[in-house]
């Protein structure tokens, strides 16, 4: 089973002039012990290179944090992004602290900052 710094679940989403490569890092599938989180990099070409906000390549360990676990959700990841009625959504799973760490499907609005980086928005 993968350990810390495991990378999986790549997903590419085109928005404006960029391709965004979302990946999931760290421990998945361990309920309360999950440390799963989502990161993103972007590129002008679908083939890359993909870099984070600081300009670090994803292949060099870079990645801008999109979302990570907290006291309510132990870990979140394995995401995809979809657009419905001109609104982007982050679709993913998380481990619900209120339900013994059971995996649940989640969906959050995704908004884009003025530099074009994604962040979960308000419900």
Q: pLDDT tens digits for 62-120?
A: 999 999 988 998 888 889 999 999 999 999 999 899 998 888 999 999 999 999 999 98
- What is the per-residue pLDDT across 1-44, written as a single tens digit (0 to 9) for each? 445 556 778 899 999 999 999 998 876 666 676 778 899 999 99
Please name which of 74, 76, 71 lies closest in space to residue 107, comparing C-alpha atoms. 76
Taking the mean position of all CA atoms in its chain, how far away is CA 33? Answer: 18
CA angle 72, 74, 77 (to 5 degrees): 115
Q: What six digits make up the tokens of 18?
A: 């960029």
Contact (Cβ atoms closer than 8 angstroms) between residue 38 and residue 63: no
- The C-alpha atoms of residue 104 and residue 99 are separated, in whole angstroms, by 9
pTM exceeds 0.95 for this model: no
Q: What six digits make up the tokens of 7?
A: 């990378």
| β-strand pairing of 87-96 with 102-112 | antiparallel
Residue found by looking up tokens 């959700």 in the block = 73
């Amino acid at each position: 089973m993968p350990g810390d710094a495991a990378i999986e679940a790549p997903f590419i989403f085109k928005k404006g002039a960029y391709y965004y490569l979302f990946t999931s890092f760290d421990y998945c599938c361990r309920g309360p012990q999950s440390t799963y989180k989502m990161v993103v990099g972007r590129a002008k070409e679908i083939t890359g290179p993909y870099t984070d906000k600081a300009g670090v390549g994803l292949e060099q360990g870079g990645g801008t944090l999109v979302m990570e676990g907290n006291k309510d959700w132990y870990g979140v990841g394995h995401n995809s992004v979809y657009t419905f009625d001109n609104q982007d959504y982050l679709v993913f799973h998380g481990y619900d602290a209120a339900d013994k760490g059971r995996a649940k499907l989640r969906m959050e609005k995704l908004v884009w900052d003025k530099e074009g980086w994604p962040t979960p928005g308000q419900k």
